[in-house]
Amino acid sequence: MTAGNAKREQVLIFIPTYNDESELSDIVSRINSLEISNRILIVDDGSTSPINMEDLPSEVLRVRVSSNYGLGVATHIAIDHARAFGYGIILRVDADGQHPIESIPDLVRKLIDEGLDAVVGERTNRDDGSGIRSILAKSIRTYISFVVRSMTAGKAPEDVNSGFMAIGAKAAERLSRTMLDRYPEPQILTILGRSNLRTGSLQVQQLPRKKGRSSIGWFDGMRIFYRFNVFALGELIQGRDKP
């Protein structure tokens, strides 16, 4: 096996983080215990204090950006790195500890065995909390899911907001040609579906958040709603894309 072929079989696991350092060491340790060839890339999205890399294995890569640009920029950094160094699969794990690390091999296996371009970890136990804030979150999520599935003729999974996903080389190349938004998950699945790339899903159990709460408040929720509608309108005007 050549070095190039070996790298194409490796998974680049990127962990976007913004002031979420407390769980990183445990997440990295659990990833490295898996029987899967991987390299970990931490994308520090402008955290208040730089990540202390002394607590992490020396082979872990880190990129730190100067400001909090959001998950779209973090995803592009991972895609650019993977394409530059020949990784065949990119997989995202969030730094808050909610993504089930033990399901990573299943995501990768489903992507490879079924010849898919992307696989999403579809949460079966998502909890939005209670009160008006939860009603707003659920309403926006339901609306966005309906629009994405309509625009992709049902090719997208029902959970279009899950960040726990693996993408292959074709999907990475297609996404590299798009400016991804701050919260890009619905945008990613829309683009892949309308580009005739194959997307699947794997049911997973989301873990409880160990620290803090979601950073998405009223303002962010309305901004997500507004920017998604702008994106969706642009896609409809542009028409179906090609891979």
The three-state (H, E, C) secondary structure of the chain, written as one string: CCHHHHHHCCEEEEEEECCCCCCHHHHHHHHHCCCCCEEEEEEEECCCCCCCHHHCCCCCEEEEECCCCCHHHHHHHHHHHHHHHCCCEEEECCCCCCCCHHHHHHHHHHHHHCCCCEEEEEECCCCCCCCHHHHHHHHHHHHHHHHHHHHCCCCCCCCCCCCCEEEEHHHHHHHCCCCCCCCCHHHHHHHHHHCCCCEEEEEECCCCCCCCCCCCCHHHHHHHHHHHHHHHHHHHHHCCCCC
Task: Quote the CA–CA distance of 32 and 81 in Å, as a whole number.
Answer: 20
pLDDT in tens, 115-126: 999 999 999 987
Contact 92, 14 (CB under 8 A): yes
- Whole-angstrom distance, CA of residue 47 vs CA of residue 95: 12
CA Rg, the chain, in Å? Answer: 17
- Report whether pLDDT(224) > 90: no
Domain count for the chain: 1
Name residue, tokens 């194409």.
8
218's tokens: 């009223």
Least confident of 4-13, 92-101, 109-118: 4-13
Inside any domain, residue 213:
yes
Residue 189 lies inside a defined structural domain of this protein = yes
Asked if residue 196 is part of any domain, the answer here is yes
In a domain, 60, yes or no: yes
pLDDT at residue 5 tops 50: no
Mean pLDDT of 164-185: 97
Q: What is the pLDDT of residues 22-64, one digit of tens each?
A: 999 999 999 999 999 999 999 999 999 989 888 899 999 999 9
CA dihedral over 70, 214, 23, 97, signed as positive or negative: negative
Mean per-residue pLDDT, 148-166: 95
For residue 207, is it within any domain? yes
**CATH number of the CATH domain containing 76:** 3.90.550.10
Residue 221 lies in a domain: yes
Tens of pLDDT along 194-222? 999 999 999 999 998 766 556 566 677 78
Domain interval for residue 127:
3-238
- Would residue 138 count as lying in a domain? yes
Whether residue 243 is contained in a domain is answered as no
125 vs 100: which has the higher pLDDT: 100
Cα–Cα distance, 41 to 37 (Å, whole number): 14
